[in-house]
Amino acid sequence: MRHGKYRFIIGFLAIPLALYGVLVISPFVQDFQISMTDWSGISSDKKFIGLDNYQKLIHNDLFWKSLSHNIIMLLVVPLVTLSLGLFFAFMLNVGGRRRGSAAGVSGVRGSSIYKVVFFFPQVLSVTIIAVLWQQIYNPDNKEGLLNALLGNLGLASLQHAWLGDKSTALACIMVVMIWANVGFYVVLFSAGMASIPTEIYEAARLDGAERGTTFFRITLPLLRDTVATGWVYMGIMAMDGFAFVQLMSVNNGGPDESTDVLPLLLYKTAFRDNSQFGYAASMGVAMLIVTLIFAVLSMRLSRRDRIEF
C-alpha cells in the first residue's frame, strides 16, 4: 500500500515537473548566467564578463526611458482601471433606484447585459484589440474612426495624429490597455459586492448614509482584499505591455522612443538588433527586480491599510 502510494506520487508528478523544470525553471536560472556573458547567440562563444552588461545597462539612456514608461504604466493603468471597475461595479450592484422601503439595495436595470458587454474585450486577443485600435487612431482625418467622429461632431480642432505624436502616443496606448481590462474588474468586483450581505447596506441606509459614504465606508473596505489582488494582477499585466506597444506604436516603440517599454527593448535587443543575448538577459533580470519591488511594495501598502481600518 505504502509502496504503491509513492509509485503513484512519482508517476503523477514526474511529467509535469520535468516539463516545468526544463521549460520554466531552467530558463529562469539560465537568465542570470547568460546575463553575465557577452553572448551574441549563433556560436557557442560565451565569455564571462561579470557585471559588465549591468554596467552598460545603467548607462543606457534608453533603458531608463523604457523603465520610466513601464513605471508610468504600472501606476496609471492599474489606478484608472481599478477605479473605473469599482465605479461601474458599484453602479451595477448598488447604484439602482431604491424601490420602496423593503428592498435594500439593488443594481440598475439591465446590469447583466452591461456586464456581458463590458467583458467583451477580455476574451479577445491583444492582437485583435491592438490592430482594431490602430485603425481607430488612424491619423488621417477622414480615414480614422476617432478623427472622422471628431470631424463630424464639428470638433476638427481636436483631430490629432494620436499614435504619431510623441506627446500623446503613450497615453493613447494606456487608454487601450485600460479599455481592454476594465470589464474584467467590473465582473470581479461585482462578484465581490454581491457577497457583501445586504443587511449591512440596509443598516447604513437606516443610519442615513448617502451612497458616497456607503461606497467609501462599507463597500471599499470590505472589498479590500479583492482590490489588492486586482492591483497586483494589473500591475504584472502593465509591466508586460509588450504586445500593445509592439503592435500599436509607430516603429516599435516610437515615435522617438516615446513608447518604448522594457519587454520590447529586451525583445529588440535579442531578436532584432544583432542578437545581443547576454545584454538582453540582463534586462530580463532588471525586469525581475522591478516586478519583485512592485509586489513587495503592494503587499506592504495593503498591509498598512489593514491596520488603519
Round to whole Å and give the CA distance between 108 and 95: 6
Minimum Å gap between C-beta 171 and other proteins is: 16
CB of 59 or CB of 142, closer to other proteins: 142
C-beta closer to other proteins: residue 102 or 123 = 123
Phi, psi of 37 (to 5 degrees): -125, 165
CA 150 to chain centre: 29
> H helices of 223-276, where?
224-239, 242-248, 262-271
Measured from the CB of residue 144, what is the shortest distance to other proteins in angstroms? 7
Q: Whose Cβ is closer to other proteins: residue 15's or residue 307's?
A: 15
CA-based R_g, the chain, Å: 24
Select 44 or 307, whichever has its Cβ closest to other proteins: 44
**Smallest separation, CB 86 to other proteins (Å):** 13
Residue with cell 482584499: 225
Cell 503523477, residue located:
12
CA dihedral 215, 218, 219, 223 (to 10 degrees): 140
From the CB of 7, what's the least distance to other proteins, in Å?
Answer: 9
The residue among 64 and 120 lying less far from other proteins, judged by its C-beta, is 120
CB of 308 to other proteins, least distance (A): 23
